[in-house]
Amino acid sequence: FFKHKPVSNRIWLALALVIAGLALIAQVWQGLTLNAAGVASALICAVALAAFWLLGASGQEKRDAVSLTMWGFFFATLTWSVIAPWWSFPWGLLGESLPPLVDGAPGLPVWVLIVWNVLLGTIAPFLLVLGSLRRLGAERAGIVGTSEPLWAALLGALLLGELLTGVQIVGFFVVLAGIGVAEFARRTRGAPA
């Protein structure tokens, strides 16, 4: 669409598989309710994410991943400064300590956790994603990116003792099948899908 190139049928199949798999993992049929604000927010997020993938992929032709990431954060800062002004943040909380997660472990100051989250939860993933766009292309990188909830659920089960249902486990395999179809689409065509 964006580059006026047709999207292959295999990519459409991969997209359908990952959406179906994510629906199984999230068990969307349990307690699903929709409201206008939630649907509007979801659509805005979907457009923003699609713009990120597509603009990031086309930006790779002129810039490196580091400068693209920094420009992205610059515009995100401007946007969020309007929505939730950073100058209204309760800066006094940064010096407070949070209780330890494990008995006997020391508590950590809030600022350490924020720095950890900024570096490893924000900057590093964005650099890796933008770096991957050069090799994968926006369509495949977006489909591979759908594995994030899969890994979050799996880590929740392994580290936090969350229980997974059989339907969720089937959803894992459906998502992985979709990612496999996207990868196979590239290899059979010899170029990014």
Q: pLDDT tens digit string along 32-48?
A: 777 899 889 989 988 88
Q: Tell me what pLDDT residue 3 has.
A: 64
**Amino acid type, 115:** V
Which residue, among 178, 118, 184, 99, has the nearest Cα to 144 in the 3D structure?
A: 178
Q: Tell me what pLDDT residue 169 has.
A: 93
> Where is pLDDT greater, at 55 or 185?
55
Domain spans of the chain? 9-85+111-189
Q: Average pLDDT in the 100-129 region?
A: 86
Q: Tell me what pLDDT residue 13 has.
A: 93
Q: Average pLDDT in the 8-14 region?
A: 88
Residues 68-111 have pLDDT tens digits of 888 888 988 998 899 999 889 899 999 888 887 777 778 888 99
Q: Tell me what pLDDT residue 166 has.
A: 94
**For residue 51, what pLDDT band results from cuts at 50, 70 and 90?**
confident
Q: Output the average pLDDT for the chain.
A: 84
Q: How many CA atoms lie within 13 A of 95 on its CB side?
A: 2
Q: Average pLDDT in the 64-68 region?
A: 85
**For residue 187, what pLDDT band results from cuts at 50, 70 and 90?**
low
Q: Average pLDDT in the 148-174 region?
A: 90
d(CA 190, CA 186): 6
Q: Tell me what pLDDT residue 193 has.
A: 47
- pTM (2 decimals)? 0.68
pLDDT of residue 7 exceeding 80: no
d(CA 61, CA 57): 8
Q: Tell me what pLDDT residue 16 has.
A: 93
Q: Tell me what pLDDT residue 2 has.
A: 58
Q: Tell me what pLDDT residue 17 has.
A: 95
